[in-house]
Each structure stands twice: as C-alpha cells, then as structure tokens.
Structure 1
Amino acid sequence: MSELLKTKFLHLSPVMASSNVSNDIEWYESKLGFKNVYDSSVYQEGDIDYAVLGRQNLFVHLQYQYPKDMTSTDVRIQVKNIDPLFEEYVAKEVIPADRMRRKTAWHTDEFGLFDPSGNRITFFEDL
C-alpha cells in the first residue's frame, strides 16, 4: 500500500466514566493542569453530566455514570520530556516523589495515578 494512502492517527480522546463530573473537572484543572473546554451546561440545565477537558493537544471526555455501572479505565498518555510534568504533579501532591518508574523493561520512563472516579492514567516517555 502506498504511503499516501495510509491512515494517520491524529489524537486519542478517551471517554472516561465519572461519578461526579463537576468534582472531576475541578480535580483535572487544579491537579493535572487541564482546562474545561466544553461541558453539558452549554445545552442543558442541572448537574453537569459530560465534559471535555484539554491540555495542549490532548482531550479527555468525562461522562457521568451511576456507580453501579462504573468500571475502571486505563489510559496511557505518551509525552516528550516527562520530568517537568512529574515534578509539577509531585508539587501539587497528586503523586508521591517515589512513583517515577525509570527504564522499564518495555523501554519507558513512566508514572501513573488515579483520578477521583478511579480511572488509571499513566504518563510515559519512550526511551
């Protein structure tokens, strides 16, 4: 197949379950540095049940789920120059300073954390 005809993947925008979207928006903004770029308050009154949060070119969607329907989600986010991000999250007390995994068997530096709804987020840099 010609290189011109191959699909190029541009972005990953996971939709993750949230038991309290408003609470999770605040956490993603204050702890992870994401910004609320859109939420359900634009088109409906009442509790926010859907939001899109962004940081640089990454977007995470949060969708309300009843606790009985929630299952955990794992998201891996590839970054370049992981250390400043790790230091930022240590300073915000999102993650302990001993959580960076260096030179993993799969050739990454990485660290992971859980959001308030139990979704696991791993940030990694290929070595």
Structure 2
Amino acid sequence: MATLGHPTPILRSFDEARTKDFYLNYLGFELVFEHRFEDWAPLYMAVKLGDCVLHLSEHYGDATPGAALRIPVDDVSAYMADLRAKKHGNSRPGEPQETPWGTREISIADPSSNRLTFFTPIDGAA
C-alpha cells in the first residue's frame, strides 16, 4: 500500500499585494516560489512557515474563496501575541478559545476570505 505525505492546500487569492502582505509580512511565512505563465498572467505561489506549506493561486478553477484550514502551532497564545503586536490594519486575532475537542485556537480570515485556524492541543489532545 502507498504511503501518503502531507497534503498541500491550494487557496484562492485575488490581490497579489494584499496576499503577500498578509502571508509574508503579517503571518510570517516565507516565499518558496512564484510562477506565472506570462508576465501578465495570474500568480501561483507557495509560502512556508515551519512544516506548513500553502499554495496560493489567482487562477480560475484552482480553488474557491472561503476555504477553511486547521494549522497546528506549538503555542497558539504566543503566536496570537506576535500577530497582535504587528497591528496589521485588517486583522487582529482575538484571545485563543478552548474547544470541546481539546484544543486552544484562533481563527483569522485572509484577504480572500479563506479561514485559517491555528491551534495547539491541550494536554496531548488532537
């Protein structure tokens, strides 16, 4: 039987400048690559933070705005504090919330209305 690796989500994006500002400057991801078939063509890019790799695409049909992702983080409270300290104009996460399924989490919408939920398991829960 085949062994599967980590999936790479593709999220829809619409505005290159706002998307880069949000993922690179605000969330702290690094740019892995950018691709366009022509100079005028839509952008397809990859970003990475730790083991989390995301692809962001302006291409029609690659993804639908409003997707939701759950991303584990070693300390969601510390990550939230880092994000709030940046005073980003369009996003300010609230305090982490404890869930009935044993996580502490925050949710943030990106410029294309994709919801990113960052979570930390509480006491070994998943």
TM-score, structure 1 normalization: 0.78
CA contact (8 A) 1:12 1:58 kept: no
Tell me which residue corresponds to 2:97: 101
Residue 83 of structure 1 is matched in structure 2 by 77
In structure 2, C-alpha distance between the alignment counterparts of 1:119 and 1:33, rounded to whole Å: 17
Q: CA RMSD in A?
A: 2.3
Structure 2: state its 5+ residue gaps: none
Cα displacement (A) at 1:12: 3.3
Between the aligned partners of 1:60 and 1:88, the Cα distance in structure 2 is: 20
Equivalent position amino acid for 2:95 in 1: R
SS of 1:85's partner is helix
Question: Structure 1: which 5+ residue stretches go unaligned?
Answer: none
SS at match of 1:86: helix
- 2:38 equivalent in structure 1: 44
User: Does the C-alpha gap of structure 1 residues 108 and 51 become closer, same or farther in structure 2, counting only changes over 3 Å?
Assistant: same
Residue 30 of structure 2 corresponds to which residue in structure 1? 35
Query: Identity over aligned residues, as a percent?
Result: 26
- The count of corresponding residues between Structure 1 and Structure 2 is 117
**Which structure carries more helix by proportion?**
1
Give the 3-state SS of the residue equivalent to 2:70 in structure 1. strand
User: 1:48 Cα shift?
Assistant: 4.7
Task: State the alpha-carbon separation in 2 of the partners of residues 114 and 65 from structure 1.
Answer: 20
Aligned to 1:26: 21
C-alpha deviation, 1:71, in angstroms: 3.4
Q: Does 1:126 align with 2:121?
A: yes
Structure ID, larger Rg: 1
State the SS of the aligned residue for 2:97.
coil
